[in-house]
Each structure stands twice: as structure tokens, then as C-alpha cells.
Amino acid sequence: MSACVPTSPTHGPQVLAMSREPTALDLSLLEGSDLKEAELVKNTLSQQLNSDRGGAILSSLVDFYLETSSSQSVSLLSTTREQLHKALLEKLNDALSKSTTRLAALTLLGHLTRKQPPWVHLVTRCPLLASLLRCLKTDGDAVVLSTGVLVLVTLLPMIPQCGKQLVYDFFDVFGRLASWSLRNPAQVPVLQLLHLQGALYSLFHRLYGMFPVNFLSYLRLHYSMKENTDTFHRVVKPMLDHVRVHPELVTGTQDHELDPTKWKRFEVHDIVMECSRLSLDPLEASSEDMLYCSSSSLSSLSVTEETSPNTQTYLQEPVDLTWSPSSHCGMSTPPPERHPSTSGLTPSTSGPATPGLTPTTPGLTGFFPCQRIQLTTR
């Protein structure tokens, strides 16, 4: 079902060249095989986004993305003017609130936030962030959770002055997903669990790097409870074994690291680099560096399925610059190997990570099922 947006005859010969009856513009042309026509449509929509009809165009573009995952829609939505920022956040929040569009809305939000949009500072003051946190605290879909955690990991360096209540909400998300990924109550496939655990590992590094005193205080309190002991030893402790002692644990205080004035001297890339320097895992540290680098530096993605100690099959495909966990987790046919249970998984001795997506770490006993599947960048 193609989406159309109304146009006006006054928008010039570009629209007339595409249709003799310029009353509606077919958004499906954005992803058409005719590149010239697609570029004309894109230019027309870009002009209309900056007109007094921009709100209607924006709404249609979001709906079109939710239906088609159009990369051209992402490109257009990332250039919305300031007057439309609130409307965009409200539209995303509406989509996030519905189970049928939640995954697509999270994926779109992830693509937009990676571009560090000028409206990102509004996220902490609108319902969208609350909806994201509610999703991460209550949803039971592993792909939705993986995508949502990666969005949060991307957002955190952009909103360091979010306040104590939100910071502790982030900690609660980590605590809930650490337990959920270990128990696997939904019995999700191993591949989906891999992505969720990788995203959780990235969230751990971000929280430890930005709020170490408060985060360790939370971990101490949360995992002192008997029912959480197993999760600590099998999930959290291996993570702690792979980070350096944070200097703020010696010189900082809980109040200081939440003080808004502290963060004014940091740019987003400064925070990302500081987090990566604390990692003893060279794979995770390099993943942090590459996450905020230009995606044009990535040439290909190699997926290795290890079927035996002496046999490997290599599958190569071009990098999808709008990659999300659902691209792989939504497969209808599972990997051919035997699926071990989460509790029986053994750590991989090696296995580079897809930047910012599925980091793997040696020595995380019973945590990452990456002995069979390794994601590498070349």
C-alpha cells in the first residue's frame, strides 16, 4: 500500500514533470528504481517540509517509514526544521506506544539519534523518553529490547544532564534486562539473545563510564539481595572483570557526577571516548570508537558461523548503514546448529564485535553465545 501526500501546483515544474495531476505525491517513488525521479520527489518533499505544510509532510514520512523502513525517509526526517521538532517527537511517541509499530519506531529513533539531531535535548522533557524506558522495563520481545537498549546507549552521551531520577531509571533497565537475559522467560532464539546480551554489555559500559559512583552504589544494593546473586555472578561480575577502576571512584561523589555543570565541558565524542578507555576488552573499546565514526569507513560485514573447531563457513554481505537487530533476528529459518540453552553457553576465546551493536568478550562465562556466531568488520 503506497503512501501519498498532497502537493500544490505552485511547487513548480518538478512536481508537474512527475505527474500531470499534482494533487498527490507518491512516497513510494522515493525508493523507486528511477533515480532521477526519486531525487525530484526527495527535493520536493524537502521544500515542503520547510513550508507551512511541513507538519502534514512530516507525519506522512513517519508513517511511510513505519510501513517500509525507507532510508530516504530517514534522510528527510533528519533535516526537519526547529518548528517541527516537537511534532516529530510526538509522532514517534505515538508509534512507540503501539505494539504494532513499536519496533519500527525504535529503529527510526535510533537512526535519527545517531545523527545527533538538534532536538535531542528535548528528549528528556517530552513523553518519548518515558515511553522508551517503559518499553525497556516491561516489554518481552527480545528484538524490541535489543533495539531499545541500543537507542538508549546512543542517547546517553547526548543527555548527560538528565537528572538523578532518570539516571536511576537507566540503572533499573540494566538490572531488569540482566536478569531477563539470563532467565530467558520468553524462550527466545539464541541469535536474538545474543543481540540483547551484546546491547546490554554496551549499556553497562556506558553507565559505568558516565556514572560510576552511582552505578556501583546501585549494583551493591541491588545484588546484595539473595534472589539476584546468581545474576550478579553469571552476568554482572564478568562485566566488572573487564573494566578498569574508574578514577571517579576515588575522587568523585554521587552528587558531583550528576551535577549539570560537570557535563558542560564535554562534547558527545568526549564522553564516548572516556567510556571506551575504561574497557579492558579491546574489542569493546574499538567498537565504541567506531560507533561515532563516519559509517563510510566500513566496507563490509563478515558473519562467521563456526560449525566445528576445524570448519568455518564465511558469509559476506555489504554493510547496511541503517542496520538494526531486527534485520537478522527476524529471519524465518533459524541457524542450522543445535541451539544450546543459555545456561550451558561457553565463552568465545575471540570474536570481534559489530561496532556498537553486538560486542563479544572473552571470559564471560554463561553470558555470550558467540562461540558459534562472530560478527567482524573489515
With beta carbons less than 8 A apart as the criterion, state whether 279 and 242 touch: yes
Q: Phi-psi bin for 347: left (phi > 0), alpha (psi -120 to 50), beta? A: beta
For residue range 240-263, list pLDDT tens digits in order: 999 999 999 999 899 999 998 999
d(CA 79, CA 93): 19
pLDDT at site 286: 52
Tell me the sheet residues that pair with 316.
302
Nearest by Cα to 215 from 241, 178, 249: 249
Nearest by Cα to 158 from 194, 118, 196: 118
Average pLDDT, the chain: 76
DSSP letters along 109-151, please?
HHHHHHT--TTGGGGGGSHHHHHHHHHHHH---HHHHHHHHHH
Q: How many helices and strands, by DSSP H and E, does the chain display? A: 19, 5
Confidence of residue 328 (pLDDT cuts 50, 70, 90): low
Which grid cell sits at 7? 502537493
Residue 123 has pLDDT above 60, yes or no: yes
pLDDT at site 287: 52
Beta strands in the chain (DSSP E): 4-6, 24-26, 301-308, 311-317, 373-377
pLDDT at site 353: 39
Beta sheet of 301-308, edge-to-edge order: 311-317, 301-308, 373-377
Lowest-pLDDT range, 186-195, 246-255, 324-333? Answer: 324-333
For residue range 132-167, list pLDDT tens digits in order: 999 999 999 999 999 999 999 999 999 999 999 999
pLDDT at site 121: 87
Label the pairing between strands 301-308 and 373-377. Answer: antiparallel
pLDDT at site 187: 87
For residue range 257-297, list pLDDT tens digits in order: 999 899 988 999 999 999 999 998 876 555 555 444 443 33
- Segments in 156-233 forming alpha helices (H): 164-183, 190-210, 212-222, 229-231
